[in-house]
């Protein structure tokens, strides 16, 4: 059995119309090397709280970004669509559309999986 995809099961064209919205509850900690640590609180069932008395259980999901990741994350402002983010990334790094789209989609997967980012469908 394969793991569920953190991205919605929609076509690429529909996905490019979605707006990535950062989790407002996530903590952002700058790192000395110019990176950024993102941490989102986890909603755990009560039995996990009991288990935490005996075993170390994290209360957050964390992702660390390097400088390039910080630059890409800055484009995810809750207003731009994924298509606009891909286009900006394509222009900045002089990539083909498909290279930029692949890089951005791969970048988003762990952020969505960790609850640090949500993809919001357009209202039309």
List the pLDDT tens digit at each of the 124 positions of the chain. 455 555 557 788 889 999 999 999 999 999 999 999 999 987 656 655 566 566 665 667 899 999 999 999 999 999 999 999 999 999 999 999 999 999 999 999 999 988 899 999 988 7
CA distances (Å), 112 to each of 9, 20, 56, 63, 118, in order? 13, 9, 24, 11, 6
Tokens representing 62 are 């964390």
Q: At CA 42, angle to CA 36 and CA 43, rounded to 5?
A: 160
By CB atoms closer than 10 A (0-12, 13-18, 19+), residue 110 is middle
User: What residue ranges do the domains of the chain occupy?
Assistant: 12-116
pLDDT of residue 12: 84
The interaxial angle of helices 82-93 and 97-113, nearest 10 deg, is 120
Across 4-123, where does the E strand assignment appear? 19-22, 27-30, 36-41, 60-65, 117-120
Neighbours of 82 (CB within 10 A): 23
Residues 120 and 19: their CA atoms lie apart, in Å, by 5
């Amino acid at each position: 059995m394969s793991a569920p995809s953190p991205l919605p099961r929609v076509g690429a064209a529909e996905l490019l119309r979605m707006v990535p919205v950062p989790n407002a509850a996530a903590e952002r900690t700058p790192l000395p090397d110019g990176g950024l640590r993102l941490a989102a609180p986890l909603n755990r069932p009560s039995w996990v709280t009991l288990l935490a008395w005996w075993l170390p259980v994290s209360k957050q999901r964390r992702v660390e970004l390097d400088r390039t990741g910080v630059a890409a994350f800055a484009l995810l402002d809750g207003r731009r669509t994924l298509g606009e983010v891909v286009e900006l990334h394509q222009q900045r790094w002089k990539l083909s559309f498909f290279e930029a789209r692949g890089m951005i989609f791969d970048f988003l997967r762990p952020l969505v999986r960790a609850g640090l980012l949500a993809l919001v469908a357009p209202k039309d």
